[in-house]
């Protein structure tokens, strides 16, 4: 697996994006790819007679359970994950399917026969397990084709424009060791260093405001998840539990029982991932399948830590971002490549580092927290039942959040010195992901996905 070069730095705006569920790699990424292809055509004044999309590999094997088909229709019709109204999605898709007509990028109408033009092809493209090929068929019979790859966290590779202007951050780093070294040399905390790096693209005040928006969106997904009930879509009959659990916790009165803290944290994560499974608005953190871990731990900090404030929340998110960058640079956050260790495991590592920072941890303690968070998620498979981001994904986020809190406090009890460092655990995750059989990497061909159905 090839790491990104220093000439392609990452920003918090790449790592945290506000979109819709149920999957960043199978919903958000394909929607962005479809929108990119459709927009490219219309900007060049090209109106094809029809468009075909071939979904390959994991996008084919678990695409319908992850809403990839819906995402493609929405993207081709001009909708983006950031702007689409989740409550309007059913109507938009139903209109396309009933009429057989697609408004290309929201503009000219072209014929679209989903049974013919949206093809689930189980074969894998060589470049990445999440591959898509879009083909525009013109009136004269000529064809225009583009390949895109959904590489995790909603990011795409292919014909998409670069997400950031070409700029060099003042304090670049590509490893955990380099992160600590540069921060020490500059006299920075990890959070301060990331904040300074973001100034390559925008003012520090603008980045602060963006992270405040991210936090608000995370907490809104918790609130909405706690208000909804009923059965999640997809056919498994999974009932939402967050609302009933919240009501029960409130009935039990003041949070005097220490054990209730863990129940509240689990509730926060559960609420977000039930909202994600329903196709609601969530923040990729760093993916949708793991979208509940960081919000739950951040909500824990705000709710249960004395002295928590806005500055601490930003310190949390800046620090978590630094750790997320390292996983994207040196491994992957795509479950199709790494299994769930690359999603919930990475989110746990990021959240542990963020909480350690918010609680006053040193840079060395923060790096230790991140290492602990991943070390105890190594080998975590991705085998969702029915290809849905429900079982075991929803409950797995509650476990990841609790582990992250534990990892943060363990780090604060030490002085930052430890046997296994973050770079070693990231490399171990990468090697483990490459060795893991494809059946256990978001294909629904092994594990729970097979054995539960067979029972």
List pLDDT tens digits, range 304-328.
999 999 999 999 999 999 999 999 9
CB proximity list for 409: less than 8 A, separation 6 or greater: 359
Q: pLDDT averaged over the chain? A: 93
Taking the C-alpha atoms of residue 369 and residue 10, their distance in angstroms, rounded to an integer, is 22
Going from the C-alpha of 455 to that of each of 48, 65, 339, 370, 448, the distances in angstroms are 48, 20, 24, 38, 10
Fold match, 23-157 / 176-200+202-440: no
- Is it the case that residue 176 has pLDDT exceeding 90? yes
Note the pLDDT of residue 8.
56
The pTM is what?
0.90
* Angle between helical axes of 422-435 and 310-330 (0-180°, round to 10): 50
Query: Which of 400, 294, 314, 401 lies closest to 357, judged by CA?
Result: 314
- Name the DSSP letter for residue 162: P
State the Cα–Cα distance between residues 248 and 69, nearest whole angstrom: 38
Round to whole Å and give the CA distance between 444 and 446.
Answer: 6
Rounded to an integer, the average pLDDT of 261-282 is 96
**C-alpha separations of 21 from 61, 278, 349 in Å:** 18, 7, 22
Read off the pLDDT band of 454 (50, 70, 90): very low
Instruction: Enter the tokens of residue 355.
Output: 């909480």
Residues 127 and 4 sit within 8 Å (Cβ to Cβ): no
Contacts of 34 (CB under 8 A, 6+ apart): 53, 71, 72, 73, 74, 75, 76, 132, 134
Burial class (CB in 10 A: 0-12, 13-18, 19+), 47: middle
Percentage of the residues of the chain whose pLDDT score is greater than 90:
86
Start-to-end C-alpha separation, the chain: 37
Smallest CA-to-CA distance from 157 within 39, 327, 286, 30 is with 30
3-class SS of residue 199? coil
pLDDT at residue 154, rounded to an integer: 87
**Confidence (pLDDT) at 20:** 92
pLDDT higher than 80, residue 430: yes
Determine contact, residues 197/9, Cβ cutoff 8 Å: yes
CATH code matching the domain that covers 176-200+202-440, chosen among 1.25.40, 3.40.50, 2.40.30, 1.10.4100: 1.10.4100
CATH number, domain 23-157: 3.30.1330.90
| Contact between 18 and 217 (Cβ < 8 Å) | yes
Q: Whose CA is closest to 274, among 303, 233, 246, 302?
A: 233
Q: Residue range 350-355: average pLDDT? A: 98
The CA angle 125-128-134, to the nearest 5 degrees, is: 60
Model pLDDT, residue 255: 64
Q: Would you state the torsion angle of the CA atoms of residues 286, 272, 387, 39, taken in this order, to the nearest 10 degrees?
A: -60
pLDDT number for residue 344: 98
From CA 310, how far away is CA 302, in angstroms rounded? 9
Residue 167, pLDDT score: 82
How does residue 5 score in pLDDT terms, banded at 50, 70 and 90? very low
CB 193 within 8 A of CB 322: yes
pLDDT at residue 7, rounded to an integer? 41
- C-alpha distances in Å from residue 251, one per residue of 246, 263, 346: 9, 13, 34
Q: Which pLDDT tens digit goes with each residue over 145-163?
A: 999 999 888 889 887 666 6
The answer for residues whose C-beta is within 8 angstroms of residue 185's C-beta and 6 or more apart is none
Q: Give me the residue spans of the domains in the chain.
A: 23-157, 176-200+202-440
Q: Which residue do the tokens 């989903």 mark? A: 114
Q: Which two tokens stand for residue 136?
A: 């525009």
Find the mean pLDDT for residues 429-448: 94
| Res. 273: pLDDT tops 70 | yes
């Amino acid at each position: 697996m090839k790491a990104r070069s220093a000439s392609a730095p990452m920003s918090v705006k790449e790592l945290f994006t506000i979109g819709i569920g149920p999957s960043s790699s199978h919903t958000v990424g394909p929607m962005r790819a479809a929108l990119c292809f459709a927009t490219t055509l219309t900007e060049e004044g090209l109106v094809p007679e029809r468009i075909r999309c071939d979904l390959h590999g994991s996008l084919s094997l678990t695409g319908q359970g992850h809403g990839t088909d819906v995402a493609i229709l929405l993207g081709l019709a001009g909708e983006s994950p950031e702007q689409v109204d989740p409550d309007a999605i059913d109507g938009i898709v139903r209109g396309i399917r009933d009429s057989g007509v697609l408004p290309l990028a929201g503009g000219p109408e072209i014929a679209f026969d989903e049974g013919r033009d949206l093809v689930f092809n189980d074969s894998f493209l060589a470049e990445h397990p999440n591959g898509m090929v879009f083909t525009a068929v013109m009136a004269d019979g000529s064809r225009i084709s583009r390949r895109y790859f959904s590489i995790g966290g909603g990011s795409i590779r292919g014909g998409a424009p670069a997400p950031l202007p070409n700029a060099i951050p003042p304090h670049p780093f590509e490893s955990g060791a380099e992160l600590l070294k540069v921060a020490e040399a500059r006299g920075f905390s990890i959070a301060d260093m990331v904040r300074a790096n973001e100034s390559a693209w925008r003012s520090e005040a603008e980045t602060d405001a963006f992270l405040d928006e991210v936090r608000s969106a995370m907490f809104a997904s918790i609130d909405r998840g706690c208000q909804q009930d009923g059965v999640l879509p997809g056919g498994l009959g999974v009932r939402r539990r967050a609302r009933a659990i919240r009501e029960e916790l409130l009935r039990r009165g003041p949070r005097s029982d220490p054990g209730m803290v863990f129940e509240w944290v689990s509730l926060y994560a559960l609420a977000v991932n039930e909202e994600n499974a329903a196709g609601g608005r969530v923040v990729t953190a760093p993916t949708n399948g793991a979208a509940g871990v960081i919000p739950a731990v951040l909500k824990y900090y705000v709710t249960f830590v004395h002295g928590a404030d806005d500055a601490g929340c930003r310190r949390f998110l800046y620090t978590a971002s630094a750790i997320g960058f390292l996983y994207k640079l040196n491994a992957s956050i795509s479950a199709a490549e790494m299994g769930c260790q690359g999603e919930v495991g990475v989110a746990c590592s990021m959240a542990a580092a963020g909480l350690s920072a918010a609680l006053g941890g040193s840079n060395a303690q923060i790096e230790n927290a991140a290492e602990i968070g991943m070390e105890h998620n190594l080998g975590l498979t991705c085998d969702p039942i029915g290809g849905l981001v429900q079982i075991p994904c929803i409950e797995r986020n509650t476990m990841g959040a609790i582990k992250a809190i534990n990892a943060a406090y363990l780090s604060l009890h030490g002085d930052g010195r430890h046997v296994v460092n973050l770079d070693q655990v990231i490399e171990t995750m990468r090697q483990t992901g490459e060795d893991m059989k494809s059946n256990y990497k978001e294909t629904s061909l092994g594990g729970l996905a097979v054995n539960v159905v067979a029972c």
